[in-house]
Chains A and B, each alone.
Chain A
């Protein structure tokens, strides 16, 4: 019986095959669970054709969006983020919401090892009302099944101009003074 190996690069491959029905299996796919290949049967007919297959992974990525981009930073309270290609122009999957703790969770992501991680790209689409989104695309090297990433969202700032004048002599500027602004809890 005919037996073919098809190499897949960046999601595509091709081969000339005898007509007939085949049992299909994944023999290599770093980052993915080979047992999840779908479909596992394929029939080649007389016309040129395209066979679409999928694999699933079981890694989990937790992304924390906060003001410092490190553990312990003040988190944002809303927003959205998506998995993309390296340029951010193509989105993969659905947009994921950032919760009130600044956390977005991506399940079923591919992963490798510390020595050979699987690289994924993401783009933040929105933040909350008082923070800026992370500019551009950020990369995550999934080197373990469960991983956490911190991403910085700087607070939105606005230049304010103040005047301080004498209350009794209109428009008399006060020579020197210091005002303190403490944010309300």
Chain B
């Protein structure tokens, strides 16, 4: 067996997230929790292609990586989790009067 070590440089738009690296035959090579938006993964495999599954909250991203494309065995991967534009209204509960000034805090739970 000849293993080619590869370095995956991964940037994610949100962290933490769950990262799973699989072979084309869905054999799990690595499964980790990534805490930082920028991370490096050392990958030793004889497979030419691997699959990445990144999960954060209720979002899942899929990536197909061709390991043979990079001569230097370094690959850069961007994971952009879609965001959504949210409009907020804040009114008086008793008079439906728009509240002049306020600040709301949204704390993620997953």
Contacts from A to B (Cβ < 8 Å): 1-32, 36-38, 42, 44-57, 83, 92-93, 107-110, 118
Please, how many angstroms separate the alpha-carbon atoms of A9 and B90 in the complex?
Answer: 9
Contact residue among B87, B107, B110 (Cβ-Cβ distance under 8 Å from A25): B107
- With both chains docked as a complex, state the minimum distance between the C-beta of B85 and any C-beta of chain A, in angstroms: 5
15 contacts between A and B (CB under 8 A): A3-B106, A6-B106, A8-B103, A11-B89, A16-B86, A18-B14, A18-B56, A21-B110, A23-B109, A26-B105, A30-B102, A36-B93, A50-B88, A93-B97, A110-B99
Please, how many angstroms separate the alpha-carbon atoms of A48 and B84 in the complex?
Answer: 6
* Chain B residues touching A, range: 35 or more
Does B86 contact A50, Cβ atoms closer than 8 Å?
A: yes
- With both chains docked as a complex, state the minimum distance between the C-beta of A8 and any C-beta of chain B, in angstroms: 4
Interface check B59, CB cutoff 8 A: yes
Please, how many angstroms separate the alpha-carbon atoms of A52 and B86 in the complex?
Answer: 10
Does B107 contact A93, Cβ atoms closer than 8 Å?
A: no
The 4 closest A-B pairs by CB, nearest first: A11-B98, A93-B95, A20-B57, A1-B108
> Other CB < 8 Å A-B pairs besides A19-B81, A56-B93, 5 of them?
A19-B82, A20-B109, A26-B103, A37-B104, A83-B97
Residues of A within 8 Å of B87, CB to CB, are: 12-14, 48-51
Residues of B within 8 Å of A15, CB to CB, are: 85-86, 88, 106
Does B83 contact A18, Cβ atoms closer than 8 Å?
A: yes
Residues of A within 8 Å of B102, CB to CB, are: 7-8, 26, 28-30, 32, 55
